[in-house]
Each structure stands twice: as C-alpha cells, then as structure tokens.
C-alpha cells in the first residue's frame, strides 16, 4: 500500500513569524519615513550638524534623493501588504531598502563615517528579514477583487 505524500517546500508559517513580520514592517516603515522626511525637509546644514558629517552639505541632491527613496521605501514596505493591494510591491520595496542600506554602508565606510554605520547595520537585517518573509516564507495574498478582475466588453 502506497501513501500519497505531498511535500511543500515551506510548511505554513506560524503565528509568531507572521506577527514578527508585521512588527518588522511597521518599525522599518516608521524608520524610513522618519529619516526620509528629515532628509527631505530639514536644511542640509542642520542635518550636517546633527549627524556630525559634511556630506549633506557637500551633496544636497544626494540628500534629497535618498530622502525621497527612504520615504517611498517606508511607504512601500507596509502599505501594499496592509491594504492587500499589490502586496508583491512590499517585496520589491524591501529589496530596494536592502540595496539602499548596502549602498549606505559602502558610502559611509569609504568616507570613514563609522558613526553612521550602526543604524545601517540595524536596518539591513530588518529589511532583509522582511524581504525573506514576505518574498518566500509567508507572502501576503492579494485581495480577491484585484486577483480576478472581470473584463469589460
């Protein structure tokens, strides 16, 4: 007698993992929106004094661009999954935030701005966890309406 065993690559995610992902998404979203808003709306000189580095004054366009990317990433890491409208965008936002943190680490390390690195080393595993969790382990299902939209004739 042969048993029909169907193996899935990943067993269903537990409640603890799902809750941990929502907490991580909320924290990452808050951090990216907060830091991005600072980069967008505070004067570069004030940020340079607060962060004890001159790069915001030296590269104001980079400052505003990274602020915009931070805010977009912060919104994208939470809102699509929360509303279940295009939740795969959360995975793409987490990928973008992961790449942003790697670039930030390289940027600050090459400028010997080691005081900035602890925040990047905290955010990097946080967004990598979201990328893994929402990408592979426990993706958020889209709303039914957005999955099968009737065609208009």
* 101 touches 117 (CB < 8 A): no
Mean pLDDT of 109-128: 95
Contact in structure between 105 and 117 (CB atoms under 8 Å)? yes
d(CA 127, CA 62): 22
14-61 tens-digit pLDDT:
899 999 999 999 999 999 999 999 999 999 999 999 999 999 999 999
How far apart CA 64 and CA 62 sit, in angstroms, is: 6
CA distance 51 to 107: 15
pTM of this structure:
0.84
> Residue 144: what pLDDT?
76
The yes-or-no verdict on residue 117 having pLDDT over 80 is yes
Structure tokens at 76: 């994208």
DSSP 115: G
**What DSSP designation does 134 have?**
I
| Burial state string for 15-30 with b = 16 or more CB within 10 A and e = fewer than 16 | eeeeebbbebbebbbe
Q: Report residue 11's pLDDT band, with 50, 70 and 90 as the boundaries.
A: low
Q: Tell me the per-residue pLDDT of 81-114, one tens digit each, with 9 for 90 and over.
A: 999 999 999 999 999 999 999 999 999 999 999 9
CB 17 within 8 A of CB 133: yes
> Which of 46, 24, 43, 44 minimizes the C-alpha distance to 98?
24
What are the E-state strand segments in the chain? none
């Amino acid at each position: 007698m042969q048993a029909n065993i169907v193996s899935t690559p990943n067993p269903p995610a537990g409640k603890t993992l799902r809750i941990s992902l929502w907490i991580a998404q909320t924290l990452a979203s808050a951090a990216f929106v907060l830091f991005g808003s600072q980069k967008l709306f505070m004067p570069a000189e004030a940020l340079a004094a607060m962060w004890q580095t001159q790069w915001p004054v030296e590269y104001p366009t980079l400052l505003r661009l990274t602020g915009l990317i931070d805010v977009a990433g912060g919104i994208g890491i939470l809102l699509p999954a929360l509303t279940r409208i295009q939740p795969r965008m959360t995975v793409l936002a987490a990928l973008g935030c992961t790449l942003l943190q790697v670039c930030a680490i390289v940027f600050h390390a090459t400028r010997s701005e080691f005081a900035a690195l602890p925040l990047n080393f905290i955010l990097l595993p946080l967004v990598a966890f979201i990328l893994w969790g929402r990408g592979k382990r426990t993706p958020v299902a889209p709303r039914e309406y957005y999955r099968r939209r009737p065609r208009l004739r």
